[in-house]
């Protein structure tokens, strides 16, 4: 996955020459992307099916972060702020890319990995199965699972998604149950 810097985002903006004069925000942006880029990339991947779509969404997230950074008031953690932006971009991306009359689960096909004696390959295949099963979940459940896998707490997940902590717990319980069923179907 391509990594982005403040300069990349700035140059994609029409008023690039004015924005390049903002060194402090650019350093802050670069720091946040360096610290959270891999997690944001994984989050972007949970909303997409191809690496090119993931890269496109990641770039949209980076641009949205650059635009929102001046409005960060510190009312939540930086990580929650970043994931909230990424979540909103992911939802917008899904809405734009989804055919009007299709079901999300119809768009994805799960490959059944053949058994292989190589441990590394088995672990990789298992991770791919789980990732594919997560992508088959309805968006609300996919969101809580993805954020939980990024080690956000219930409170942070609730802040990112704009739901209560008890709703986070309920969604996680249901998402885990649905994942078990999806993984059982693959056997």
Tokens of residue 186, six digits = 């693959």
Please report the pLDDT score of residue 59 as a whole number.
Answer: 94
How far apart are alpha carbons 143 and 83 in whole angstroms? 10
Does 69 share its domain with 31? yes
Residues 57-111: pLDDT tens digits? 999 999 999 999 888 888 888 889 999 999 999 999 988 886 655 554 445 555 5
Does 143 share its domain with 85? no
Does 171 share its domain with 144? yes
Q: Judge contact between 1 and 59, C-beta under 8 A.
A: no
How many structural domains are present in the chain? Answer: 2
Does 91 share its domain with 5? yes
> Tell me, what CATH number does 43's domain have?
1.10.1740.10
Look at residues 64, 81, 103 and tell me which one is the last residue of a structural domain: 103
- Average model confidence (pLDDT) across the chain: 81
Please report the pLDDT score of residue 128 as a whole number.
Answer: 86
Domain extent for 149: 111-187
pTM of the model: 0.58
Residues 72-86: pLDDT tens digits? 888 888 889 999 999
Does 83 share its domain with 57? yes
Could you count the other beta carbons within 10 Å of the beta carbon of residue 133?
22
Look at residues 103, 134, 153 and tell me which one is the last residue of a structural domain: 103
Does 133 share its domain with 92? no
Residue with the bigger pLDDT between 172 and 118: it is: 172
């Amino acid at each position: 996955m391509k990594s982005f810097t403040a300069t990349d985002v700035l140059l994609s903006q029409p008023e690039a020459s004015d924005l390049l004069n903002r060194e402090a925000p650019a350093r802050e942006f670069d720091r946040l992307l360096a610290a959270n880029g891999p997690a944001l990339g994984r989050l972007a991947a949970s909303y997409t099916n191809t690496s090119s779509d993931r890269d496109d969404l990641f770039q949209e997230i980076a641009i949205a972060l650059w635009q929102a950074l001046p409005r960060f008031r510190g009312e939540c953690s930086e990580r929650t702020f970043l994931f909230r932006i990424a979540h909103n971009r992911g939802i917008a991306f899904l809405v734009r890319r989804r055919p009007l009359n299709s079901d999300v689960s119809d768009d994805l096909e799960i490959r059944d990995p053949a058994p292989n004696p190589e441990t590394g390959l088995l672990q990789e295949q298992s991770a791919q199965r789980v990732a594919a099963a997560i992508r088959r979940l309805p968006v609300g459940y996919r969101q809580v699972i993805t954020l939980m896998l990024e080690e956000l707490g219930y409170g942070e997940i609730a802040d990112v998604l704009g739901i209560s902590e008890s709703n986070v717990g309920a969604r996680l319980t249901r998402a885990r149950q649905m994942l078990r069923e999806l993984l059982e179907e693959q056997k």
